[in-house]
């Protein structure tokens, strides 16, 4: 891995700044979440060394293998962004600071029962693709109400992943929709935008962009953008 991480980060930062500027926003209002699934713990440490503090992982078991190596990174925050089965809720709660992918009342209850204060987001499914996880928009208000009844969970926003399309403009309607839904339930956090469409996401109000390949290059294990089973 000849790296080039610093150069790639610099390019992403420039693009983030520009996207924020043209939409009248501040770069500091947007969290750059470095998605490290498929990469070893050393990559997390390198990114940390360059100033990144937020990291996204998709698989409970994979991150269990890295956790010891990154436990000493003061101020680092680890976000779970994969699909979380409720039988893994306790393990995920122990490992992560933020769970971005709550999609059922059962999962919320299980996470709450762990007894650790957690920041959470609700994943919303905005396309009909059967494989995608997330709650249907029609069920969002009810789920948000249930999450808010959980004393250990602090609901800060919504997360989504539009159907894959290389054209970033294809994601815009989904991002816009997520923002409208967030306004409806009264949250401000919007986790949306990946390597190929993060600038559009920033224009549409993203508070967190989740970037993997643009930062680290192709994932060694060939894991695509799927929010696969945790
Ligand atoms: C893998 C993944 C990302 C990052 O995707 P890139 O295209 O590599 O930037 C973002 N969000 C989720 C949910 C992912 O699973």
Is any atom of ligand 1 closer than 6 Å to the C-beta of 208? no
- State the pLDDT at residue 1: 45
Is any atom of ligand 1 closer than 6 Å to the C-beta of 110? no
Span 132-176, pLDDT tens digits: 789 999 999 999 999 999 999 999 999 999 999 999 999 999 999
Span 22-73, pLDDT tens digits: 999 999 999 999 999 999 999 999 999 999 999 999 999 999 999 999 999 9
Span 64-121, pLDDT tens digits: 999 999 999 999 999 999 999 999 999 999 999 999 999 999 999 999 999 999 999 9
Q: Whose CA is nearest to atom 7 of ligand 1?
A: 195
Assess contact for 93 and 125: CB atoms under 8 A.
no
Query: What's the whole-model pTM score?
Result: 0.95
Helix (H, G, I), strand (E, B) or coil at 118: strand
- State the pLDDT at residue 73: 98
Is any atom of ligand 1 closer than 6 Å to the C-beta of 225? yes
Tokens representing 230 are: 């945790």
């Amino acid at each position: 891995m000849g790296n080039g991480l610093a150069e790639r980060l610099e390019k992403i930062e420039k693009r983030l700044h520009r996207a924020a500027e043209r939409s009248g926003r501040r770069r500091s209002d947007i969290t750059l979440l470095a998605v490290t699934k498929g990469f070893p713990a050393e990559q997390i440490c390198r990114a940390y060394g360059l100033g990144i503090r937020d990291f996204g992982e998709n698989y409970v078991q994979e991150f269990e293998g890295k956790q010891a190596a990154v436990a000493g990174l003061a101020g680092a925050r680890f976000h779970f962004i994969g699909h979380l089965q409720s039988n893994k809720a306790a393990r995920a709660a122990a490992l992560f600071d933020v769970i971005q992918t709550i999609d059922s009342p059962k999962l919320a209850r299980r996470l709450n029962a762990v007894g650790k204060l957690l920041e959470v987001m609700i994943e919303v499914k905005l396309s009909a693709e059967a494989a995608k996880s997330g709650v249907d928009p029609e069920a969002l208000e009810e789920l948000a109400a249930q999450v808010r009844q959980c004393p250990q969970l602090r609901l800060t926003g919504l997360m989504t992943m539009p159907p894959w399309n290389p054209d970033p403009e294809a994601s815009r309607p989904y991002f816009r929709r997520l923002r409208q839904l967030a306004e409806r339930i009264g949250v401000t956090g919007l986790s949306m935008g990946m390597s190929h469409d993060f600038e559009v996401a920033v224009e549409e109000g993203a508070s967190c962009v989740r970037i993997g390949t643009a930062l680290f290059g192709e994932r060694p294990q060939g894991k695509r953008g799927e929010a696969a089973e945790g």
